[in-house]
Chains A and B, each alone.
Chain A
Amino acid sequence: MVDRVRDSVVSIESRGGFGAGVVWDSKGWIVTNDHVVQRSESRVTFQDGSNEIGRVLARDPAHDLALVSVPNIVGFAIERGDARTLRPGDALLAVGHPLGLRDAASFGIVSGTGGVNWMGRPASELLQADLRLAPGNSGGPVVNASGQLVGIASMVLSPGIALAVPIQIVHAFVREVEAKLAA
């Protein structure tokens, strides 16, 4: 399953940022964190080692999301799941490049869906997990026990308290971008 997820994981380097990204669809769109791509252009490296220059299509700083477009996609679009059906205790996997270690998988569980502030920070609409993530996981996929994308790894409040942007927010962001481009 991790192999399957990895096919959809890229690494993204841009000046001032390094992280992971997820191949969202076959038209060359990659989802990552806004804080990973601080410049408009970045280097996107695929599983086979090939790389392309990616261009930031749109940003959603409030949710720490960005869409990056590359001319050619290597790998598959990730299978999408539903974060709203997750229960505390459900298994999660994150794949990213923690501390530069390529495509490392971490295993954890949904640690809470309390829906209120966590230590003073508004975590209400974020997915909270006990995944042990590190810099380099940012922008990478968090998948459920079936390997389906449920969130984008976004921040670590403290070791073992990871927050991910749930997939429904990613959907809304991508739809918004599509609508803007069509207009």
Chain B
Amino acid sequence: MDFFSAMDISSSALTAERTRMNLISSNLANANATRTAEGGPYKRKDSVFAAVPLPESFRSVLSRMEQAPRKVEVNQIVEDQNPPRLQYDPTHPDANPQGYVALPNVNVIEEMADMISASRAYEANVTAVQAAKNMALKTLELGR
């Protein structure tokens, strides 16, 4: 009986969702950034999640020859390779000779939808942690 691995799993998800939220914030903040250190407009960043097994002792692996619950981690952060948005604005200092400015390939509406999804997932994991905590505390009350 181990509530701590439940908390381990849920907190790994909290970390992953928060990383995702950070990337969304970064995308929103840079929705109009035309200059970056690498040159060119900002590119939308996205996270790739992967399910990873919990670190386990050799004994517990032996005693349990079955599929163990897996936690989650941000495996990779990828840049969206879609072409930048082109907007006609000849007065902009970064405009090309034709008068078009290359703006980041960030779709603000898409980011907002992603943000809601990330925050709901975060809440669900918080609920799971609370459930584990309540179960553990109630067990301590046994025999009072």
Binding partners A and B: no
